[in-house]
């Protein structure tokens, strides 16, 4: 089990991970996480480009059936949806996944069509920037703009410098719209580190360097204060990638990567997206490396696990006990305010989603909800008829004891007597 942290932490020290060296996890841990990631692939769901990218960065089996299915599905999804309903960030992830598979994103062949995905990404990035410049917020999120900038930079397509300047100014602004400092700032740092290598204008270089110094040192400060943790356990992957990729910007300060890795080792990662983000860091890589992979070499580095292509449907054993979970929904933000509470009885080991389903069954007029599938799992879009909105920057936030949950509704398992709050919020 990955949660047996102490022994692995000692092992890390024995293999030479210090504050001044790159930390790399033991191969058996990497193989176990790779196997778990590949096993999460569900043929009934859309292919997740982050999973393909992580498999490639961590040396997964590029000749295996899972890899081949992911690559083909990602190409087809890009051709079908990139110009229609994908966000800029989704297009960027598809570009990065293709680059990591040594594919040309400017010429994506699928479904008897050929698509220039870089052109689509540039158009969508321009839309993000137009709103950012006019209203101070992008069309979607600054996280997506960071992804866009990184993908444009790694594809060497041009068009990355303008967004990088805007992102750097956001990092340095006291009125920044960065809503989740860890995830967003880590992605922005990766983008700025890429663009920095191509910028020739001294004033732009200075701006990017200052922003990178600010982000990386804030991560190091937080790690020191919180005994290795940066953000939450699911944001650790991107934070570790960013610190690995920005070493020269916080030098001569040293990063105690062993301390940060010990936090990761103490957690038994199950959520596929979290695994996909932490795996590159565990092999000493980051998203900056996706365009430089030697696919022929990577193929020979595969751990070689053979996996079935059967869909991984979530199953639960027959529980022994029943538990009671208190569940409330609150809107004090928009329209007619409301607050409703209930208590439901569910089998031990049930997920929050199952709690919500029972509540909705017992009182559908009050606790009905809607969801959509995202790369991070199931996302609750509406409760009690009140829907989240990207335009209004609203969402349903789930909390326990006043703290935001660090897992989604499809994986979080409440304990007996726990009170889960769903609060309509703004980011």
Residue ranges of domains in the chain: 27-283, 322-426
Q: Is 355 annotated as a binding residue?
A: no
Determine phi and psi for 376, rounding to 5 degrees: -90, 5
Q: Is 43 annotated as a binding residue?
A: no
| 427 known ligand binder | yes
CATH topology of domain 27-283: Glycosyltransferase (1.50.10)
- Residue 4: its pLDDT value, please? 39
- 202 belongs to an annotated ligand binding site: no
Quote the pTM value. 0.73
Question: Which residue ranges of the chain lie beneath pLDDT 70?
Answer: 1-22, 177, 179-180, 296-320
Give the model's pLDDT for residue 328: 95
CATH architecture, domain 322-426: Beta Complex (2.170)
412 among annotated binding-site residues = no
Nearest to 289 by CA among 50, 17, 96, 62: 96
Give residue 63's pLDDT.
82
pLDDT value at residue 21: 57
């Amino acid at each position: 089990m990955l949660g047996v942290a102490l022994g692995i932490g000692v092992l890390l020290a024995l293999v030479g991970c210090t504050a001044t060296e790159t930390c790399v996890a033991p191969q058996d841990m990497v193989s176990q996480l790779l196997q778990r990631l590949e096993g999460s692939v569900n043929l009934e769901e859309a292919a997740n480009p982050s999973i393909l990218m992580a498999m490639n960065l961590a040396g997964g089996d590029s000749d295996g059936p899972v890899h081949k299915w992911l690559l083909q599905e990602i190409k087809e999804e890009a051709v079908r949806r990139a110009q229609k309903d994908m966000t800029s960030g989704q297009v960027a992830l598809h570009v990065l996944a293709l680059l990591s598979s040594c594919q040309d994103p400017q010429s994506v062949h699928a479904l008897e069509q050929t698509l220039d995905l870089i052109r689509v990404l540039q158009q969508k990035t321009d839309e993000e920037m137009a709103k950012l410049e006019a209203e101070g917020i992008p069309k979607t999120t600054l996280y997506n703009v960071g992804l866009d900038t990184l993908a444009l930079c790694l594809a060497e397509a041009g068009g990355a410098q303008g967004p990088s300047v805007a992102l750097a100014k956001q990092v340095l602004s006291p009125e920044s719209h960065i809503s989740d400092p860890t995830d967003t700032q880590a992605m922005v740092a990766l983008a700025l580190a890429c663009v920095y290598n191509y910028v020739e204008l001294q004033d732009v270089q200075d701006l990017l360097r200052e922003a990178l110094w600010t982000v990386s040192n804030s991560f190091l400060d937080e790690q020191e204060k919180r005994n290795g943790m940066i953000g939450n356990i699911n944001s650790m992957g991107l934070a570790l990638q960013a610190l690995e990729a920005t070493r020269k910007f916080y030098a001569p300060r040293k990063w105690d990567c062993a301390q940060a890795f010990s936090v990761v080792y103490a957690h038994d990662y199950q959520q596929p997206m979290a695994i996909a983000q932490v795996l590159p860091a565990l092999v000493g890589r980051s998203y900056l490396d996706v365009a430089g992979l030697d696919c022929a070499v990577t193929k020979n580095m595969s751990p070689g696990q053979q996996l079935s292509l059967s869909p991984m449907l979530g199953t639960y054993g027959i529980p022994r006990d029943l538990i009671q979970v208190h569940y409330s929904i609150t809107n004090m933000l928009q329209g007619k305010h409301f607050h409703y509470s209930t208590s439901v009885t569910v089998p031990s080991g049930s997920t929050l989603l199952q709690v919500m389903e029972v509540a909705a069954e017992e009182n559908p007029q009050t606790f009905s909800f809607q969801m959509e599938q995202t790369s991070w799992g199931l996302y609750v879009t509406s409760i009690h008829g009140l829907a989240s909105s990207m335009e209004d920057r609203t969402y349903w936030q789930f909390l326990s004891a006043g703290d935001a949950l660090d897992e989604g509704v499809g994986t979080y398992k409440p304990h007996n007597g726990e009170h889960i709050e769903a609060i309509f919020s703004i980011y």
